[in-house]
């Protein structure tokens, strides 16, 4: 097992890239700590598979380096990297039995037969496929084929990292949930580095301790699920994570105070020095409340989603969502919005532009 470092990585599928738009990966610097459970999350086409294939050695990057524990592996073959990769669609040998398929990666490395039997049995138990061990893979359903494919990725215990590239695409929803839970358990038991690629926030947030969010060939934030939810580093993360996502509203600074639609808005902390560009206020629907005073808004839609209500309002031409627990207003009502200051952030050209005052400093100032 190893710590994996990506250094100044850039990749273009063109031989003569003309500009940033020709790069599938624009500039990636990342450390994957040994033993971590990671998700790589982002919309289709943002460069997730490109990144994985560069780590596994299926692709050589146009620029930059890949280090395993500090050793340069940029041009090493996939075999030399000692990585297991599970793809979106099953990769198995149809003519072999399930048992032979699962045993193959071990046999290939010269593992002794007794250990092979034991490992194959453990993995088959985990995936609940023990009853099909002696069936030929050709006859299996797509679900089961993919399970075996995952099993082949998990069967070796000496790999540097196991990578899953949207592995549950062909799996039915109920089984999806089960397999995801199993992977998480497995990670906790064996402590091997795992990278799980998905465009689905629920999959990412339930599997991973650390989520790497990508957009347009760039990493926009690395954080725990809570960090991504609470303090998105970029408005993209605010939109992409959460349901509904973060409200991102046009802002103006007047005399050092942020304003939205002419109303002063109290922010979580000071605005970063040198902030300029397109300014926006970001506030999650969970932290928008209603009161007697505040920003006047018209209620356009009220959706009861069980535990709480999602209320969509309009402030001028701007839509704002609020998640409310108490008695909701009715469509057509006029309400007053209150943003929880500690959860209200400023963004400049998409990037977080407010600082939080560290608690120790705040106390120090109070005392002085």
Q: Is 55 in the site for ligand ADP (CB under 6 A)?
A: no
Q: Is 48 in the site for ligand ADP (CB under 6 A)?
A: yes
Would you tell me which residues interact with Mg ion (CB under 5 A)?
49
Taking the complex as a whole, how short is the minimal distance between the CB of residue 110 and ligand ADP, in angstroms? Answer: 34
End-to-end CA distance of the chain: 51
Taking the complex as a whole, how short is the minimal distance between the CB of residue 90 and Mg ion, in angstroms? Answer: 16
Quick one: which segment of 44-52, 247-255, 257-265, 289-297 binds ligand ADP (CB under 6 A)? 44-52
Q: Longest C-alpha distance within the chain, in Å?
A: 77
Which one, 23 or 347, has the nearer CB to ligand ADP?
23
Taking the complex as a whole, how short is the minimal distance between the CB of residue 48 and ligand ADP, in angstroms? Answer: 3
Is residue 148 within 8 Å of residue 90, measured between CB atoms? yes
Q: Is 46 in the site for ligand ADP (CB under 6 A)?
A: yes
Residue 46: contacted member of Mg ion, ligand ADP, none (CB under 5 to 8 Å, by partner type): ligand ADP
Phi, psi at 145, each rounded to 5°? -60, -40
Q: Is 45 in the site for ligand ADP (CB under 6 A)?
A: yes
Query: Residue 288 CA to chain centroid, in angstroms?
Result: 25
Taking the complex as a whole, how short is the minimal distance between the CB of residue 97 and Mg ion, in angstroms? Answer: 30
Is residue 126 within 8 Å of residue 184, measured between CB atoms? no
Q: Is 85 in the site for ligand ADP (CB under 6 A)?
A: no
Quick one: which segment of 37-45, 177-185, 244-252, 281-289 binds ligand ADP (CB under 6 A)? 37-45
Taking the complex as a whole, how short is the minimal distance between the CB of residue 71 and ligand ADP, in angstroms? Answer: 25
| Binding residues for ligand ADP, total number by CB under 6 A | 10
Quick check: bond before 244 cis, omega within 30? yes
Nearest-angstrom CA–CA distance, 173 and 187:
21
Position among 4, 6, 37, 50 found at the interface with ligand ADP (CB under 6 A): 50
Quick one: which segment of 46-54, 143-151, 348-356, 358-366 binds ligand ADP (CB under 6 A)? 46-54
Neighbours of 123 (CB within 10 A): 23
Closest CA relative to residue 264, chosen from 230, 293, 229, 235: 293
Is residue 10 within 8 Å of residue 27, measured between CB atoms? yes
Query: DSSP state, 209?
Result: S
Q: Is 350 in the site for ligand ADP (CB under 6 A)?
A: no
Which residues neighbour 191 within 8 Å (Cβ) at sequence distance 6 or greater? Answer: 35
Which one, 111 or 222, has the nearer CB to ligand ADP?
222
The H or E element containing residue 359 is helix 359-367
Q: Is 49 in the site for ligand ADP (CB under 6 A)?
A: yes
Position among 9, 24, 148, 220 found at the interface with ligand ADP (CB under 6 A): 24
Is residue 216 within 8 Å of residue 46, measured between CB atoms? yes
Q: Is 13 in the site for ligand ADP (CB under 6 A)?
A: yes
In the shown chain, the binding pattern of residues 154 to 193 toward ligand ADP, with x for contact by CB under 6 A and - for none, equals: ----------------------------------------
With tokens 């790589």, the residue in question is: 40
Taking the complex as a whole, how short is the minimal distance between the CB of residue 255 and ligand ADP, in angstroms? Answer: 43
Identify the bridge partners of residue 213 per DSSP, sorted by sequence position: 41, 221
Length of the chain: 368
Which one, 194 or 352, has the nearer CB to ligand ADP?
194
Neighbours of 365 (CB within 10 A): 9
Using CB under 6 A as the criterion, which residues of the chain lie in contact with ligand ADP when the complex forms?
A: 13, 24, 42, 44-50
């Amino acid at each position: 097992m190893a710590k994996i470092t990506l250094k100044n990585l850039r990749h273009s599928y063109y031989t003569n890239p003309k500009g940033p738009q020709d790069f599938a990966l624009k500039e990636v610097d990342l450390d994957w700590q040994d033993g971590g459970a990671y998700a790589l999350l982002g919309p289709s086409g943002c460069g997730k598979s490109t990144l994985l294939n560069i780590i596994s050695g299926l692709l050589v990057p146009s620029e930059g380096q890949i280090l395993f524990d500090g050793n340069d592996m940029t041009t090493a073959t996939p075999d030399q990297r000692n990585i297991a990769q599970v793809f979106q669609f099953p990769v198995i040998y149809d003519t072999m039995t399930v048992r032979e398929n699962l045993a193959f990666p071990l046999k290939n490395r010269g593992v002794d037969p007794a250990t092979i039997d034991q490992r194959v049995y453990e993995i088959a138990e985990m995936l609940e496929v023990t009853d099909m061990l002696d069936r030929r893979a050709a006859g299996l359903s797509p679900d089961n084929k993919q399970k075996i494919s995952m099993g082949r990725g998990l069967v070796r215990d000496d790999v540097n990292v196991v990578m899953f590239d949207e592995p549950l695409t062909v799996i039915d929803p109920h089984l999806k949930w089960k397999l995801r839970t199993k992977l998480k358990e497995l990670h906790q038991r064996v402590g091997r580095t795992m990278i799980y690629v998905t465009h689905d926030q629920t999959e990412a947030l339930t599997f991973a301790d650390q989520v790497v969010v990508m957009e347009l060939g760039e990493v926009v934030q690395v954080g725990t699920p809570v960090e991504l939810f609470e303090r998105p580093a970029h408005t993209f993360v605010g939109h992409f994570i959460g349901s509904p996502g973060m409200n991102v509203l046009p802002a103006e600074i007047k005399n050092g105070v942020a304003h939205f639609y002419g109303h002063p808005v109290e922010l979580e902390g000071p605005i970063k020095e040198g902030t300029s560009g397109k300014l926006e206020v970001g506030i999650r629907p969970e932290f928008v409340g209603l009161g007697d005073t505040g920003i006047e808004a018209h209620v356009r839609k009220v959706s009861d989603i069980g535990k709480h209500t999602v209320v969509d309002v309009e402030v001028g031409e701007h839509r704002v969502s609020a998640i409310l627990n108490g008695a909701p207003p009715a469509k057509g009502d006029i309400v007053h919005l209150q943003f929880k200051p500690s959860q209200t952030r400023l963004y400049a050209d998409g990037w977080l532009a407010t600082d939080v005052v560290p608690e120790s400093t705040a106390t120090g100032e109070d005392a002085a």
